[in-house]
Amino acid sequence: MYNDFSNRVVPDNIGGQRSKFELITTILHICLEGSLKNHIIGKGNFSDAMVNHYLSILLYHNLLVSERDINNRMLYKTTEKGRQFLSLYREIQDLFERPRGSIELNKPRNLEQPKITSQKMSANGNVKRILVVDDEFDITSALRIGLEDNGFEVDVFNDPIIALSSYKARTYDLLLIDVRMPKMNGFELFKEIQKIDPIARVCFWTAYESYSKEFKDIFPSMNDVNFVQKPIPMPDLIKRIQSLTQSV
């Protein structure tokens, strides 16, 4: 398994002056009883891009789940694991508020979820191998965990240039590539990969819907199944991967 940690230390420029912990706990609190994305944006004073970013992380870490309401709107709801995270966060805050000598730590909670043991197989009987290229380290970290828990073998690159220089043909069943990246965007990266591996299969994903038209212009032979908008719940992403790799 290969993981590119060249961008491991990433400044938290998405949340402005708020820490990632504050952003995550705010979203989990808003979603305790279920919340629409636009309500999360309004209540938390977030930008749309910020919410897309952190919803993806929380979904892939099983801290949130998504479901449709009676009007077919997407709701995001804090899981039991997410509630435990909030409880632990409050305990950590209490450590700095109680007088010295009065702290009693509770027994640590086990936040680990049982891993799915079934493995996703290629037609030749091998475990399906996915290449993920996205410049956001926290996104790729959460995504890798989610995909591996579902039986896939995953390689991750946070730098598209390194991903291209390391690429070997006929290695992956599917490439999952972010569109908006520095140095080289996802469309440019896949164009270069096609020169090395003409049969490579791809699913582009992005938090920006505006790239949909550009995708159709550059790759007219592909259809909507090859393009995903973040955030996408892990079960939906798994179905998309299975659809794109079912004949592999």
Q: Is 181 exposed, middle or buried (0-12, 13-18, 19+ CB in 10 A)?
A: buried
Inside any domain, residue 53: no
Instruction: Tell me which residue has tokens 């994305």.
Output: 37
Q: What pLDDT sits at residue 120? A: 61
pLDDT averaged per 10 residues in sequence order, the chain, 248 residues: 45 52 92 94 90 93 93 95 91 65 41 44 72 94 93 96 96 96 96 96 90 91 92 93 83
Inside any domain, residue 65: no
* Both structure tokens of 215: 């995708």
Query: Which residues make Cβ contacts (< 8 Å) with residue 14, sequence separation at least 6?
Result: 49, 50, 53, 54
Inside any domain, residue 34: no
Q: Strand 35-36 vs strand 202-206: parallel, antiparallel, or unpaired?
A: unpaired
Number of independent structural domains in the chain: 1
Judge contact between 166 and 158, C-beta under 8 A: no
Measure the CA–CA gap between 184 and 221, rounded to whole angstroms. Answer: 22
Inside any domain, residue 235: yes
Inside any domain, residue 193: yes
- Dihedral of CA 57/127/204/71: which sign? negative
Inside any domain, residue 122: no
Query: Which residues make Cβ contacts (< 8 Å) with residue 212, sequence separation at least 6?
Result: 227, 229
Q: What pLDDT sits at residue 13? A: 40
Q: Is 43 exposed, middle or buried (0-12, 13-18, 19+ CB in 10 A)?
A: middle
Inside any domain, residue 90: no
Inside any domain, residue 80: no
Q: What is the pTM of this model?
A: 0.71
Residue 199: give its domain's CATH number: 3.40.50.2300
Residue 178 lies in domain = 129-245
